Chains A and B, each alone.
Chain A
């Protein structure tokens, strides 16, 4: 084995003497607060499975974890292609981990090309450790061997600590097809490197391959042990990330699975959808488990039909959900308008992806806020919520269903590709039957009852459901009066608009001011929404340690917006939103304060509260990193002293 190192490599802290493992393994063990690990390969080589297993094992040991899938855009990109990296990225921490963290500390790469892709994408930390499959060096194809050697040397030159590992050779000692074996060999190596419990690893393999033959499990365990042994024998470093023994049961799922579980728990029985990335995996899981539990996933002929189908079901009494992503959401707009007009409860989940148009189907972005709020023509008030964590994906669906049916409104729930594909343990929910939709009300209505007999105080009218005697009426998308009769006169039209709008005000009155993370007043308030919460709060905490007077506020309801926000913002000298979408950067060519396009949330806060809210955005297709946010905070701290008198930050 060859180890090439460069001078500039940050040495891991030496293990404290008397560390049992150090004694036992006969080499120093460095204790770390956290580490970010990547396993990448051509797709089909099982790096995904290796990463998920590593995450699961760490979680079982009590480490905080956050795993993110690394997915190539194509299903089967050519082998050894720079854009073809497929695998997993696991952040392992001593405490709870709330986001994917910063650049990667250690990479296991099955070939140098996929690695180069990650390097160029600036995913690796300077001087990161790279465990690289060495078989290519001796490849029959001279070109391949050459490109390997060249890449290797360039990486070493760039200061990475590259360790060549003969994975192929080692695996072939145990199995005929090394391609199928490397991932578990790698898992073994990583268990050694991070001092993970090998017994747990064996269990994990049993679980992963449980459905397959015992022989399969056995051979994979052999590979695991081999990988572990190899690392023990050949690597001169070993880490340990302290873990708090887990005290409560937790479930480990990604955001889309959490959404699907939320649909189950909400008691909804119909999910209408049309295949689209990245939303679809939620429907995959749901299709698998829904029907035995009395529900069904209807794959409609198109997005519009999916939306209409859900509306029809809701109208008939069974509140339904339609799950989609950006382009599909645009297509549903007319249907959503109809549900708003007819006051038919409906849950629409939009797992955001890169836009506009087809954009970046597999990439992270939160650019659909404004279309979620203002999409559909005319004044079509609807509730907009955003899930801020994987756990929140689960509970948000339950809450969305509840709001939709109590206010007879459309509730749009925003998630994103990051949450959809990331895994993070959260406390196993204690099931409550109150989550579930009540049975369809078929009790007879009082004779002469009107379907839109709005309560002027709240704007809410009792929902009429087919089958209820005395309730016969025709729902219509046309302007209508209390009796749902088509009405073109100004009074009737305005009354309808007023009442549909009033429901948002009513809901707003039932919300609490959003909690402030950090001190309730200070120099800078960072406002965010959706999947960025973990990264923002991690950065804020770090900055507080540095002594910066910064706090953050994370919005769960975007429409209506919770009360007390203006007051909250005014307690800070400056307010900035951080969002994963596009906004003009002040200082860019031709961008002036006159023409600068603000980020959606900033735009909303500025217009609603007349507070001079600044914004910073990034649309690099990956979740915004806490490190990046720290930098942004530093850059945007208001200058000390001076304009203290003016409330609401600088102008």
Chain B
């Protein structure tokens, strides 16, 4: 590097350090129009086929990209055509048309927008086009709200996912409630039928057909049957059942259709636009929820006929521990809150944190539209942007049993399963989503969101406490590009002034992201190729090295006319980029990438091993122990452990006893059954040797071994011993 600076370089350095340019040096092109070189190729989105717009429907596949549906329609409609060509061509045109309609602010269901677009296409009067579109329209099965990647996407997307999960959940609960209500009603009904009241002449008359009115003497019948009336529920039980029944019928958490729909109470709402409201509602309903949980448990026991007053009264009594029904509470619908980042401060922040930390079953979507808002508390000269949205998610991570997801809207479709998992998560969940609709740029929100991801300004991750016991299984960073690098690196191709195609490797940094935002144009000074010089280094390189006054950091931007500029970056922006990189590093560590502890440990091991190797060059590497020990099979006890047994003592191979009662009939004091009703010798001295021998002989499976005589004085021993021999 030459020691002397020319004036251009001086002013560039000056700008870098002070963020100011001599007016003379100001470039003609307004930086506002600038676009990070990497995104330049993508500005014309509607022409591209990608994940958006999506169609939000109900059921398993609650979200599907428009392009996927179009492909499906092409396939379905084209089956009986020998040449798909024209149809495919026309439908792709239709798809483009739909995209541009949405870009122009159109919205509605797929069907409606589709028809709108189709009208425009056939306006040309091309009969062939009309034919294919008609055919396609008939083949179009899917429908639902058509949503592009814009400000409305996160709310619609998450809302739909929540709805799908809730539907299934509520259906389950409703079915359970119906079952229990019928079960309890039946208990009362059966009791009524048995009671005297159920056998009154009137009831009996009503219970037979008209043509039998004259056949029976219902008073006589009633008299006869009344002698049979019995039982009746014990008052406490009847009281309990009626009470529980009342609770189940009055509950408002799910719509459980009952016999008298007129009297089914109106259900609660569970969708909110503020954490504070959700929290209030939750608090108000909690007693009802607990009451319902308790009622469900009691009802279940009653219906099974397994409620034991002695045991259960204590459990369900008024004094009962409020927390027992946690699992039952989990059956109730979850709350859904969709709140814009802009509104998350003061009380709302407290409410959010309480929802999450108190384990309230709430699914909270916080939507950030702008990452580059200036921090209100920023010290002068401190470029504090994009912090709060990120901080939110990281804070939630600290709560451990909260499902956390952070993602730019552009990734929502790819991460749909994660979204659904979060909605289904048994506990609170936070979804922090950046919509990209900042308004600070002319780029479409999809690109802004994508850029936020690429530049690590808004990395994507999920933390799913239900996914496993440790961070490795719970934390997932894989949705980010090139996760092992500081910044993702790409090759760009451009024409140099000699109109030759040139290529270079470019890393997409935080600065590139900011460069697209007109509000921060002042932090960048685009420089024509003429003024480029060898002190200029790309921001990512600049950040790698130690700060050095001699070097000038820049990012490549493209302005209209596709001219490549180097935008010199001022120091505040560079520092922001460094902070952004640090934040990314800590995420990497959580995700197990370049984990500092692991690396330190590794290093220590390496040196240790080296040392060891040096010390004992001939040392044999230890080998893993071979031969797994065989796991003991069930009923090991079955193994006749004869060798340990005193051969003189009589014994029975109990495991093989077939409970045939032969031996027990010889002498019940000597032979007895164990808890499995298989015979063993209870007391060898409770009988004679003769009895042992007799039992051994009569045993069908010959498992009785008489051993040696206990009483040498027993008569006829010689003979007995001979008979006992085969059973030794």
Partner-B contacts on A (CB < 8 A): 262, 389, 391-392, 394-396, 398-399, 402, 406, 427, 429, 432, 434-435, 438-444, 446, 455, 457-458, 460, 462, 467, 469, 506, 509-512, 514-515, 556-557, 562
Contact = CB atoms under 8 A, between A and B. Distances in A.
B505 to A, nearest CB: 70
A457 B215 CA distance: 22
B686 interface: no
B227 A442 contact: no
Contacts of A511: 215-217
A110 to B, nearest CB: 38
B190 interface: yes
A331 B206 CA distance: 35
Contacts of B635: none
Interface in B417-431: none
Interface string B192-231: 1110001000010011111110111110110011011011
B683 to A, nearest CB: 34
Given A392-B211, A443-B233, 6 more contacts: A402-B208, A435-B208, A435-B209, A438-B192, A441-B191, A444-B305
Contacts of B198: 438
A510 B199 CA distance: 13
Q: Is the interface of A mostly helix, strand, loop or mixed?
A: loop
Given A438-B192, A440-B190, A443-B191, A510 B224 contact: yes
B33 interface: no
A513 B410 CA distance: 87
Contacts of A439: 185-187, 189-190, 193
Contact of B207 (A429, A434, A469): A434
B719 to A, nearest CB: 44
Given A398-B209, A438-B189, A460-B228, A557 B215 contact: yes
Contact of B305 (A402, A435, A467): A467
Contacts of A462: 228, 230
A462 B231 CA distance: 11
B227 A455 contact: yes
Interface centre among A434, A444, A515 (most CB of B within 10 A): A434
A578 to B, nearest CB: 21
12 contacts: A391-B211, A396-B212, A429-B209, A439-B189, A441-B190, A443-B190, A443-B191, A443-B194, A455-B227, A458-B228, A460-B224, A506-B224
A506 B187 CA distance: 29
B190 A442 contact: yes
Contacts of A399: 208-209, 212
Contact of B186 (A429, A440, A509, A562): A440
B305 A434 contact: no
Contact of A469 (B203, B209, B305): B305
Contacts of B185: 439
Contacts of B203: 434
Nearest to B225: A406
A322 to B, nearest CB: 20
B190 A395 contact: no
B208 A398 contact: yes
A455 B224 CA distance: 10
A238 B1 CA distance: 126
A451 to B, nearest CB: 14
B210 A441 contact: no
A510 B210 CA distance: 17
Nearest to B237: A443
Interface string B223-267: 011011011010000000000000000000000000000000000
A512 B209 contact: no
B207 A432 contact: yes
Contact of A395 (B211, B218, B220, B227): B211
A467 B209 CA distance: 31
B227 A510 contact: no
A403 B305 CA distance: 28
B224 A509 contact: yes
A188 to B, nearest CB: 37
Nearest to B192: A438
Contacts of A455: 227-228
Contacts of A556: 212, 215
A220 B59 CA distance: 46
A441 B230 CA distance: 12
Contacts of B211: 389, 391-392, 395-396
Contacts of B218: 510
Query: Nearest 3 pairs between A and B by C-beta?
Result: A395-B209, A438-B193, A439-B186
A455 B193 CA distance: 19
Contacts of B217: 510-512
Contacts of A441: 190-191, 193-194
A391 to B, nearest CB: 6
A513 to B, nearest CB: 10
A429 B215 contact: no
A429 B206 contact: no
Question: Chain B CB within 10 Å — which of A395, A509, A510 has the most?
Answer: A510
Specify which of B198, B224, B228 lies most central, judged by the most chain A CB atoms within 10 Å of its CB: B224
Nearest to B191: A443
A509 B190 contact: no
Contacts of B209: 262, 392, 394-396, 398-399, 429, 435
A438 B195 CA distance: 12
Contacts of A458: 224, 227-228
A389 B211 CA distance: 10
A96 B211 CA distance: 16
Contacts of A406: 225, 228
Contact of B214 (A427, A509, A512): A512
Contacts of A444: 305
A435 B214 CA distance: 17
Given A441-B190, A512-B217, A402 B207 contact: yes
Contacts of A395: 208-212
B261 to A, nearest CB: 18
Contacts of B214: 512, 515
A406 B208 CA distance: 12
Interface in B277-320: 305
A510 B220 contact: yes
A438 B207 CA distance: 11
Contacts of A398: 207-209
- Residue among B192, B198, B209, B218 with most chain A CB within 10 A: B209
Contacts of A440: 186, 190
B202 to A, nearest CB: 9
A512 B216 CA distance: 5
A509 B215 contact: no
A432 B213 CA distance: 14
Interface in B338-379: none
Nearest to A387: B211
B186 to A, nearest CB: 3
Contacts of A460: 224, 227-228
A389 B210 CA distance: 13
A392 B228 CA distance: 28
A512 B225 CA distance: 17
Interface in B551-605: none
Contacts of B305: 442-444, 467, 469
B449 to A, nearest CB: 51
Contact of B231 (A432, A443, A510): A443
Contacts of B220: 509-510
Contacts of A510: 216-218, 220-221, 224
A403 to B, nearest CB: 9
A406 B203 CA distance: 13
Contact of A457 (B193, B207, B227): B227
A593 B200 CA distance: 50
A398 B205 CA distance: 12
A506 B220 CA distance: 10
A402 B216 CA distance: 13
A442 B211 CA distance: 32
B246 to A, nearest CB: 19
A392 B214 CA distance: 13
B668 to A, nearest CB: 24
